Structures are given as structure tokens and as C-alpha cells.
Amino acid sequence: MKRLLAVALLGLTLCGVARAAIDTYEFPDEGERQRFRDLTTELRCPKCQNQDIADSNAPIAADLRKQIYEQLKQGKSDDQIVDYMVARYGDFVRYKPPVNERTWLLWFGPAALLGFGVLVIGVMVARRRRGASGAASTLSAEEQARLNQLLDNQDK
């Protein structure tokens, strides 16, 4: 009896969790449903960082899905809905933000950082090469003879 009660309690607990993640919206046609899917996969959840609002279980993602649904019912275009979300949450909410003066760092920053790193490594290698060749030329004739003698002894 206790075992049956424990299983029933566990089942009720899991049913509540499973039900919480499902949104049910009714659409007049398949085209509207597809627009809803496209918009919810195009927009990023502000809380989850790298998850679209279609897949996120965060409360804010549910609110955004509801907002998109309401705007679709009002007859707004996809661009109007995306513009509303960007105005509210910034370009971060888009997975592919536009290239403009505010997003240049986002688009070109990684390439600039990589180029700077390659430049620094190139300068370091060039300095080491100059340093290695310059060190041998600063030896006096006596020091060079001593070095040659030590190297010859080591080879034998």
C-alpha cells in the first residue's frame, strides 16, 4: 500500500512538471503556426543566453512566446514583432543581429583579436630570431675560440 501511494505521489509530481513546459496556442491556419515557430526559434531567451525562446522553459521565455502569439493575432508582421522585441531587449535577443555601429565589436571583434594575437606572436618570433643571431656575433674572438673548443670536445 505504501509503495503504491509513493508511486502515485511521484506520478502526480512529474505530471505537474511536464505540464508546466507546454504552451498551447490555437492558430487559424498552418501558415500562422509556422510563423510562430520561426519567430520563436529566431529570438534568443534573455535569461538562458544561448537558447531560443521556443526551447526555453524560463518564465520570461513563456511571456515572450505569449507576446508573439498576441502580436500575431493582432496581424503584425514578422519585422514588426522582431522590432518590438529588439526595442525591448536590445539586439542581444536576436541570434543574428544586424551589422551596425552598435554591433561592430560583436561582428568584427573576434577577427580583430585573432589578428592582434597573430601580430604579437610574429613580433615575438622575430625578436627571438634577431636575439639568437645577435648573441653569437657579440662574442669576442677568445670567447668564440673557447666555445668552438668546448663544442668540439663534446662531439668526441
Tell me the pLDDT tens digit for each residue of 35-57.
999 999 989 888 887 888 988 88
> Domain end: 93, 114, 142, which one?
93
What are the pLDDT digits (tens) for 70-120?
999 999 999 999 999 999 988 888 888 788 887 788 788 999 999 999 999
Residue 134, pLDDT above cutoff 60: no
The Cα–Cα gap between 105 and 18 comes to 40
Same domain, 71 and 118: no
Same domain, 35 and 73: yes
State which residues form the domain around 110.
Answer: 103-155
Same domain, 65 and 25: yes
Same domain, 133 and 115: yes
Same domain, 89 and 25: yes
* 16 domain-assigned: no
Residue 8: band (very low, low, confident or very high) from pLDDT cuts 50, 70, 90? low
Contact (Cβ atoms closer than 8 angstroms) between residue 13 and residue 20: no
Task: Report how many domains make up the chain.
Answer: 2
